[in-house]
Structures are given as C-alpha cells and as structure tokens.
Amino acid sequence: MGTRVGVSWMGGVDGKCWYCQHNMENLCDSPTFTGYTVNGGYAEYAAVRNDFVFPLPSALDDLHVAPLLCAGIIGFRSLRVAGVQPGERVGLFGFGASAHLAIAVLRAWKCEIYISTRVESHRQLAESLGAVWVGGEKDRPPVDLDRAVTFAPSGNVVVSALSCLRKGGVVAINAIHLDRMPAFDYDKLLWGERQIRSVTNMTRSDARDFLEVAATIGLRPKVTAFPLSQVNEALMAVKEDAINGAAVILLYK
C-alpha cells in the first residue's frame, strides 16, 4: 500500500502462448496495451494488472518519471536489441523523446555516441547531452559504427544507418511503422554479416532493469508539460518535431 508505481505501454500478456512460454512476452500473441486495447493513458484513474506496474524511482517526480515509462523503456530495449556493449560506437538516427533518454544510458556505459537528426534544435540538445559527433540526416559519422538505432519511421533512415556500420554491426529499428524500405546494394551495405533487427514492444524485465539504471545514473528527462485541455496541441508539436525531449500531459495542476 502507498507504493508509487507506473504503467507502461504493455498492459498484459496471456502467459500461455509459445512466445510467453519461451521468455519472449513482448511478442505475445494476445497482448493488451495501455490506452489502446484497454482504457487508460489519458485518464485520471485506470484499472491495471498488478503484475504490470513498476515501482518508480523516488528521485524523480511525476513529471520527470512519466517519459521513462514509454519512450525510456522502448529506447532501452532498442539498445538491447542492437546488442550494445560498454565502450562501443553507437549511432542514434533521430533524436526525439526516446533517443534523448537512450543517450544517458549510453554515456553511463562509456559509449561513443554519434547523432544524426534533421532538426537543428535536436542537434543542439544532443551535443549538450554528450554526443561526440552530431550531424544532419545526410551527414555521415566520421567512423564506422558498431551499433545503430533508428527512431525515425523512415526506411531511408534505416539504409543510412546501415551504410555507417562496420562489418558485423547491427541496426535496430525503433518504429511501430515504417514508410517503406527502399532498395539498397546488398554487397556494399549488408554483406559482411551486418544485421537489421526490429524492436517490438517491451518486457517487464526491460522496464524493471531500465528504471533501476535510471535511478542509478540519476537520469532526468527534458520535458515539456501540457495540460490535458491542450492534448491536441501536444500531439501536433510531437508530430512537427517542435519539442526537445518528451511531451508530458498533466491530468492535474
């Protein structure tokens, strides 16, 4: 009683399908999602499964812990899917709500971070958060990358990230939808055991592990708050890349 907890995108799994039985609950055949298949998200109250809530770091207030539960966890999973190891060279392609939290984890892991994004204000934020190189969407990092994560829903960005990898490198696609995958030169871009992997949902283990990391490193997101009455303005600002960091909707004053 009295424990402050958070609810994430993944609201439940069936626990019975092949994926759940093989420790891949993020791929569950019959999942539930907060605010999508079950009510919640934009609500003052919500009924949730007690095995899908997570204790929150006491060091972060409600405003700053909110982005950790969605953008933060999925960004953390993206780093795992990409197989990031401490000290590696990692590229983040796109720099919105998820990437600006992932960069804090990468810094804690002593990685060299290379950022490619089309928005000037996002480039400035990335530089202030410790990226060793920041460029535009058509610029190429000065070194070959060990890993890359793409956050933009663009197949062209995936190909750009792939072109920056060393042999054996991995691109993780952090996008629910992708506009298209353009044709590309297999011999130049994929040959050499480079890999493209998709990121799908998250697991409870991802959530618990990320929140523990966030508390340990003192992660503090950059947020822009909107009252519930301005939710449409918030969504439009996100769509237009007009926010540095994450947008947070306040249900109370």
Q: Which CATH number fits the domain that encloses residue 88?
A: 3.40.50.720
88-108 burial, b for 16+ CB within 10 Å, e for fewer? Answer: bbbbbbbbbbbbbbbbbbbbe
Write the CATH number for 17.
3.90.180.10
Query: What is the per-residue pLDDT for 147?
Result: 98
Same domain, 84 and 48: no
Same domain, 109 and 190: yes
Whether the pTM exceeds 0.85: the reply is yes
Report CA torsion sign: 67, 71, 77, 78.
Answer: negative
Same domain, 76 and 176: yes
What Å distances lie between residue 238 and 223, 235, 244, CA to CA? Answer: 12, 5, 9
Which residues of the chain fall below pLDDT 50? none
Query: What is the per-residue pLDDT for 243?
Result: 86
Same domain, 150 and 179: yes
Query: What is the per-residue pLDDT for 253?
Result: 56
Query: What is the per-residue pLDDT for 112?
Result: 98
Query: What residues contact residue 72 under an 8 Å CB cut-off, 6+ apart?
Result: 98, 101, 210, 214, 219, 221
- The residue segments making up the domain with residue 47 are 5-70+202-250
Query: What is the per-residue pLDDT for 1?
Result: 62
> How many domains, in total, are found in the chain?
2
pLDDT in tens, 63-96: 999 999 999 999 999 999 999 999 999 999 999 8
Same domain, 157 and 180: yes
